[in-house]
Chain A
Amino acid sequence: MKLVVHMSDLTDLYQAVILDHNKRPRNRGKLPTATRVASGDNPTCGDNCTVYICMEGERIGKLGFDGSGCAISQASTSLMTTQLLGKTLEEAEGIFKEFREIVTTGKEPEEFSEVAAFAGVHAFPARIKCATLGWHAALEALKQPDQPVES
């Protein structure tokens, strides 16, 4: 059990990559042509996130998100959209598994990856659910059958 939190942990948590994605989120906004949509929320925080996906065959053609939350949840969802673009469901599940490993253990992957920026989250167990909120919504959306586009 960790009793003392050092500033280095906090700067690990709020790395430049995270601050950048928080300030300038990628793929933010509802996709009007989305055929798969799912939402997730953290009732205790009041955070929520909706992910919109357009499939191109077996692969993700486009994806977007909206909702509100802390810097960690916003940045991780933004980064998620950049990582999952063009991927199949199986590939997306693999990437999420890796991401979850990083945020829960702090173990960075051997190959360079932007998601490694989230390794600092593991020192703040209460924030792990913030980091995975958008990912859970995306995977839930991916597992759905295609729905007709809302008019």
Chain B
Amino acid sequence: MTHDFSNLRVDFPVLDQHVGGRPLVYLDNAATTQKPRSVIDALARYYERDNSNVHRGLHALSMRATDGYEAARVRMAKFINATDSAEVIFTRGTTESVNLIAESWGMANLKPGDVVLCTEMEHHSNLVPWQVITQRMGAILKFVPVLGDDAEGGLDMDALELLLTPEVKLFAFTHISNTLGTLNPVKELCAKARAVGAITVVDAAQSIGHEIVDVQDMDCDFLAFSGHKMAGPTGIGVLYGRRALLDAMPPWQSGGGMISIVEYAGSEWKPSPERFEAGTPNVADAIGLHAAMDYLDAIGRPAIAAHDYELAQIAREALGELPGIRILGPRAGEPRSGLVSFAFADVHAHDVVTFADEDGVALRGGHHCNQPLMKKLGLPSTTRASFYLYNTAADVDALVISLSKILKFFRA
């Protein structure tokens, strides 16, 4: 039996408010999701009862904090189906996870003439770190093109075949495009990269909160995501890496917590995950993230994906009726994640967002951290509606009604 999604908003205290005199319709979930009461309670409970520094501590609170922090790691390993919890490194979020790979793996492995492959639909967080490290190491950064005037064709798989040469040392790509709603064939991309000996980095920021993300099934080498896009707290994220790769990587940041022996002349590093978690870790938010995983799994991620992606399909269809709209990404009826990104030639995205806000509808307008793709599509900005488990078909109606009003106002 599938879960009842009709009233999940009662689990989310922040949604119990009015904006512009109407109940808040929060459709900016691709930027960040709201947090259920259970996550907020877990954070408060930790600070009220267990707050202490982790590891090395011998007193009761420190042991409780350590247990809570490490239990979150074990829970996360299960959540993404990693074989070993040592493969789960807590970071600040997707951006820091990608930077960690670029700095640590990139500095140790990239040589002049090596190729790092990216795609044209990457968020800046999975693009700029590769620009920086390839420039520093004398390596070359190449991009898999996106097909179609509205990017409706997804990744150019023929071009990928040509681009995947033995010089490619690493292939970094997103699971779901935050700008287009495109679902990339992760398993296939990982297999193709592996065939030429390239390491794979999957940006799961837009998928982790919605669907099952199984690192063994994907057969990826690294996976990066943020807790705040999966009903968890801000300031915590994850880097998954294969144990063998992590053990061969040098530390990224150094200091306390990541060493086994320190002498004035030099130090020895702990193995993963501690090697990559210098300093006091983000204990509270790891514990909050644990509660978020429990919340999502109590509903069931396949059911969440079905719900969120269906809402986006309904929205795609309804928005398609608006005169003069240009919708990016997959065509109507084709697989699409839980978001729709669109533009009007005569009404700018920021005017749309300001007006929708008046109706209590929270949208995002801009380049969505995807400037090169927007430039390629000839768009200064788009408006994006993104859905989550607490949204309903009534929220899609509110969106369409608000947009119709805006168009009427500007086209009068």
Contacts and interface: CB of A to CB of B under 8 A. Distances in A.
A and B are interacting partners: yes
A71 B366 CA distance: 14
A74 B346 CA distance: 12
A47 interface: yes
Interface residues of A, number: 22
Interface stretch (A4-12, A91-99, A140-148): A4-12
Interface stretch (B75-83, B169-177, B354-362): B354-362
Interface string A1-19: 0001111001001100001
Given A14-B409, A71-B348, A46 B381 contact: yes
A148 B349 CA distance: 37
A69 B348 contact: yes
B358 A44 contact: no
B351 interface: yes
Interface in B234-291: none
B21 A127 contact: no
A70 B353 CA distance: 11
Interface in B1-43: 18-21
B142 interface: no
B409 A46 contact: no
B410 A46 contact: no
Contacts of B355: 10
Contact of A130 (B350, B358, B374, B380): B350
A72 B355 CA distance: 13
Nearest to A124: B354
A33 interface: no
Contacts, number: 54
A127 B354 CA distance: 9
A68 interface: yes
A130 B18 CA distance: 27
B366 A127 contact: no
A13 B20 CA distance: 15
Given A10-B358, A14-B409, A46 B374 contact: yes
B176 to A, nearest CB: 22
B357 A5 contact: yes
Given A44-B366, A46-B366, A69 B354 contact: no
B125 interface: no
Contacts of B348: 68-71, 74
Contacts of B21: 4, 6
Contacts of A44: 366
Contacts of B366: 44-46
B184 interface: no
Given A19-B410, A72-B351, A130-B350, A45 B357 contact: no
A46 B380 contact: yes
A10 B355 CA distance: 8
Given A10-B355, A70-B351, A71-B351, A47 B380 contact: yes
A44 B358 CA distance: 21
B354 A13 contact: yes
Interface in A1-60: 4-7, 10, 13-14, 19, 44-48
Contacts of B358: 5, 7, 10
A46 B371 contact: yes
A89 to B, nearest CB: 30
Contacts of A4: 18-21
A73 to B, nearest CB: 8
Given A4-B20, A46-B367, A46-B371, A70 B357 contact: no
Given A44-B366, A46-B371, A46-B374, A68 B354 contact: no
Interface string B309-352: 00000000000000000000000000000000000000111110
Interface string B372-412: 00100000110000000000000000000000000001100
Contacts of A48: 380
A140 B409 CA distance: 34
By CB atoms of chain B within 10 A, which of A6, A46, A124, A127 has the most?
A46
A2 B244 CA distance: 53
A13 B66 CA distance: 53
A75 B355 CA distance: 17
Contacts of A45: 350, 365-367, 380-381
A7 B358 CA distance: 7
Contacts of A71: 347-348, 351, 410
Interface of A: 4-7, 10, 13-14, 19, 44-48, 68-72, 74, 124, 127, 130
19 contacts: A4-B21, A5-B19, A5-B20, A5-B357, A6-B20, A13-B354, A14-B351, A45-B366, A45-B380, A46-B367, A46-B371, A46-B380, A47-B350, A47-B380, A47-B381, A71-B348, A71-B410, A72-B351, A127-B354
- What are the nearest 9 A-B pairs in CB distance? A70-B348, A70-B350, A46-B380, A46-B381, A46-B367, A68-B380, A71-B351, A70-B351, A10-B358
Interface of B: 18-21, 347-351, 354-355, 357-358, 365-367, 371, 374, 380-381, 409-410
Given A45-B380, A71-B348, A124-B354, 8 more contacts: A10-B354, A46-B366, A46-B367, A46-B381, A68-B348, A68-B380, A70-B351, A71-B347
